Structure 1
Amino acid sequence: MALRGTLGDFSLTDILQLIGLQRKTGVLVLEREGERVTLGFDAGRVVSAESSSRPTEHRLGNLLVKRGKLTEARLEEALRIQRDTLKRLGHVLVEQGWVDHETIRRELELQMAETVYDTLRWRSGEYDFRPGERVDWNREFVRPIPAEHLLMEGARMVDEWPIIERTIPSRDVIPRPRPAAAEILASVGSAPESAGSIYEQDIDFDLIPQDPLAGERSSGPKGLSQAELRVLRWVDGRRTAGEVADLSELGTFEAFKTLVRLVELELVEIVPPEGDGEVPAAPRRPRLMARAAPARAAGLLVALAAAVGVVAALHPLAAAAWPGTPRLPLPATLAPAQAVSAAGHLEAIRAAVSRARLTRLERALRVRYLASGRWPRRLEELVEAGLAPARLLRDPWGRPYRYEPIDGGYRLAEAGPIPGVPGPEVRERRLAPGPGAPGGPAPAP
């Protein structure tokens, strides 16, 4: 059964989650405003990604030439061989000994991930998933990427893009080196190959290292990381931000994020393309970009905890256990510990957890609808389908959430009010009528 519909009803995140959970094999076609993206899946893993706006084969050859890893003459010869033999360009380049296997693999996988990340930012368009359709993918150079991994990375990027865009509003702006940058580059000479982006590191919540900043320190001048040096070496005042990102081999998101850091360090300034207006002024230190001194390590943990209101509740406990604990600056939305009782703290935490559970239940409901073409009759169906753990069906006070299917959608609500806590929260969703069903998109015949 194929699935068709619009991204206004179900986000690409929902669709990828469904494909990943059910280990689907097939082709997902996404279209909007003349742009077409085709994603290939094998057992729930992404194995190919093609965009009509930037064909993989075309970009591969051009990027290798721009980075100095391939001459234009050899590229032209490789393209001639490709036309004669119908082999993929990567195979031709490796067979001729002009580019090594690892370089081709890394570039193809980066382009594949970049295509998926770009589509995760789409807010409109149409989708068409064709399960079982044969996927022709490059098994020699591409390692399948689990959809769940792309979803986790993509969610982080979508959250941080608005902050990056305050400084770099488009790929066409031009980063220009400032005098201090020239001094740094002169002291390091040609930059060595980077081992990868510093932002690719995951957080292990079971083990907090004694020195959380150790992985980000660099022996480079001014304490710059290898990623920052790698980006800085391509900034010449003529290349656009997009070209710098392509040459850095870090990917657009990581390269732009690194550029923002260089702007903060006053090593780079952003200027508009010739003939355009001014680039919007960026905040002196965007919230997610700052990572100065030890505040970055502490701030990361604080931000994670503050999402559910834990910091305000636990800081007094930490102060009692360790008298030397410094006062942490809390978000303005959190009341000072002195003004809120311990009981109030706990209720606020429970309320935040309850809202988070409602959001997870909504995600599971949408995935269930995509898989079956109907809304569940009861929440327990989500547990039976493996989309949610049983504990998610009750709030932190132990009360079951209220759920009922309604015409073309559902209503999901907390069980009732709690003294001192705003609510109860009610979530209601109705789908706009779509092809094949009065309540929204449905499986196509």
Structure 2
Amino acid sequence: MALQGSLEDFSLAEILQLISIQKKSGVLRLTSPEASGVVFFEKGVIVSLTDRREKKSDPLLEYLSTTNRLTEEQIEQICAIRGQSKKEFAEIIITGGYLTNKQLAEAIEMHARELLPRMLSWKKGVYNFSGDDKTVAKLFFKVPMKTEALLMESMRRIDESDRIKQLYSPAAVLRRREPPEKPELADEEKWVLGLIDGNRPIREILAKSRVGEFETYEILSDLIQVGVAEVAQWSAEGEPDVVPMRPVRKKRTTAPVLGIVVALAVILGASFGINWAVRLLLRAPAVPSATAALRANVNQEENVRFAAEVYRTKHGSYPDELTSLVDEGLLREKDIQGLSYLKSRDGFVLQRVPESGAD
């Protein structure tokens, strides 16, 4: 399968879907004015977003360094070995005992989740896909990542990242707070909280964090919402001194992204069934900390809104009741619990029902 052309005519999201649905193996190379990228596929599944066989520096190696998974000394050792052998960076890292298989796999997946949203933002450039099974087989270390799930996660990140950056500028300086009731935090949240010192702007925290830019931004937002951190000052000129604490509620300003997501659900549904497709796209990772309930409420409402959009795409109008989404198989009964729904002429109103006994 040979596929080439312009990103202005055929978006990266569409290319990824096509390769995935047709279960092709090969290498997709992208060149844009911003940068270049590569995606390795094996039977429609993404296995790498970097070419670790290159003699020159690998973006993954830089990621392992900036996220504090490898020291500068270790990076120098790995590069020295690479310069004297035909081994790829991943092989040197594993055989040299720098990281375990599990640690490297987790890093590669997190790096992919950082890379793909950037690549999806490229609107100009060219692409070339060569269906070469032998090329993919030469990769020493492959991490299978479901293309549809990774694409959906990237769409969510683009949406969420824009929302969070509107609330908290990269130039803003954060400081810690001691709330009356100290919440339980996950290890990664504790790590990011440790980077907050009252002097360091968000952009420096992002640079020093080991969990990637998006995860760090999301964690910072959560830490502020649960009360263990706050904005000490807005460095940008003209910003107010008082932190504008806002509820964690997404602004509905991302209709184009939602449209792509709904289209993806319909495309996947045509191949695998609409119910399976929606369940796949609505799946979200668990958050084992005090911020879980906070984020779960937002996720629940967003999932219901998404399911309603898929229902409208399929039937031409929004459902009369939330139970219709359950009857359709788009959601489960527990997915609509605690929510009230009212269909209107132009759309619908979705609200959370106060718990009994609440003020």
TM norm. shorter chain > 0.5: yes
CA pair 284-28 structure 1, distance change in 2 beyond 3 A? same
Counting only pairs closer than 5 Å after superposition, residues 204-353 of structure 1 correspond to structure 2 as 221-237=182-198, 241=202, 244-245=205-206, 248-266=209-227, 267-269=229-231, 277=237, 284-288=246-250, 292=294, 296=298, 299-300=301-302, 302-304=304-306, 306-307=308-309, 308=312, 313-314=321-322, 328=340, 334=347
What whole-Å deviation, never above 9, does each CA across 1:95-135 have from its counterpart, x for those lacking one?
Answer: 33343332222212322332223212333332222233753
SS in 2 for 1:97: coil
User: Is the contact made by 2:27 and 2:38 (CA closer than 8 Å) also made in structure 1?
Assistant: yes
The reply on whether 1:106 has 2:106 as its aligned counterpart is yes
Match in the other structure for 2:42: 42
Q: Which has the greater radius of gyration?
A: 1
How many aligned positions are there? 285
Whole-Å separation in 1 of the counterparts to 2:224 and 2:34: 35
CA pair 137-36 structure 1, distance change in 2 beyond 3 A? farther
Whole-Å separation in 2 of the counterparts to 1:335 and 1:34: 40
Letter in 1 for 2:175: P
Pick from 163, 177, 180: which aligns with 2:178?
A: 180
CA pair 3-75 structure 1, distance change in 2 beyond 3 A? closer
Whole-Å separation in 2 of the counterparts to 1:297 and 1:315: 18
Counting only pairs closer than 5 Å after superposition, residues 186-197 of structure 1 correspond to structure 2 as none
TM-score, with structure 2 as normaliser: 0.63
User: Is the contact made by 2:173 and 2:232 (CA closer than 8 Å) also made in structure 1?
Assistant: yes
What whole-Å deviation, never above 9, does each CA across 1:18-69 have from its counterpart, x for those lacking one?
Answer: 10011122222222214111212222122222399x94254145236xx2x5
Whole-Å separation in 1 of the counterparts to 2:187 and 2:64: 25
CA pair 300-227 structure 1, distance change in 2 beyond 3 A? farther
Match in the other structure for 2:264: none
Letter in 2 for 1:88: E
Whole-Å separation in 2 of the counterparts to 1:327 and 1:103: 40
CA pair 264-4 structure 1, distance change in 2 beyond 3 A? same
Whole-Å separation in 2 of the counterparts to 1:103 and 1:83: 24
The reply on whether 1:11 has 2:11 as its aligned counterpart is yes
Whole-Å separation in 1 of the counterparts to 2:110 and 2:70: 18
Letter in 2 for 1:284: R
SS in 1 for 2:129: strand
SS in 2 for 1:135: helix
TM-score, with structure 1 as normaliser: 0.52
User: Is the contact made by 2:161 and 2:217 (CA closer than 8 Å) also made in structure 1?
Assistant: no
Match in the other structure for 1:62: 65
User: Is the contact made by 1:173 and 1:271 (CA closer than 8 Å) also made in structure 2?
Assistant: no
Displacement of 1:272 in angstroms is 6.2
User: Is the contact made by 1:37 and 1:50 (CA closer than 8 Å) also made in structure 2?
Assistant: yes
What whole-Å deviation, never above 9, does each CA across 1:168-214 have from its counterpart, x for those lacking one?
Answer: 45xx5355223338x99xxxxxxxxxxxxxxxxxxxxxxxxxxxxxx
Whole-Å separation in 2 of the counterparts to 1:173 and 1:179: 19
Displacement of 1:293 in angstroms is 9.3
Whole-Å separation in 1 of the counterparts to 2:138 and 2:171: 34
CA pair 38-163 structure 1, distance change in 2 beyond 3 A? same
Instruction: Compare the two structures and name the one with the higher helix fraction.
Output: 2
SS in 2 for 1:180: coil
CA pair 75-161 structure 1, distance change in 2 beyond 3 A? closer
CA pair 235-136 structure 1, distance change in 2 beyond 3 A? farther
CA pair 55-296 structure 1, distance change in 2 beyond 3 A? same
Identity %: 25
User: Is the contact made by 2:176 and 2:198 (CA closer than 8 Å) also made in structure 1?
Assistant: no
Letter in 2 for 1:313: E
User: Is the contact made by 1:109 and 1:142 (CA closer than 8 Å) also made in structure 2?
Assistant: no
Whole-Å separation in 1 of the counterparts to 2:232 and 2:119: 26
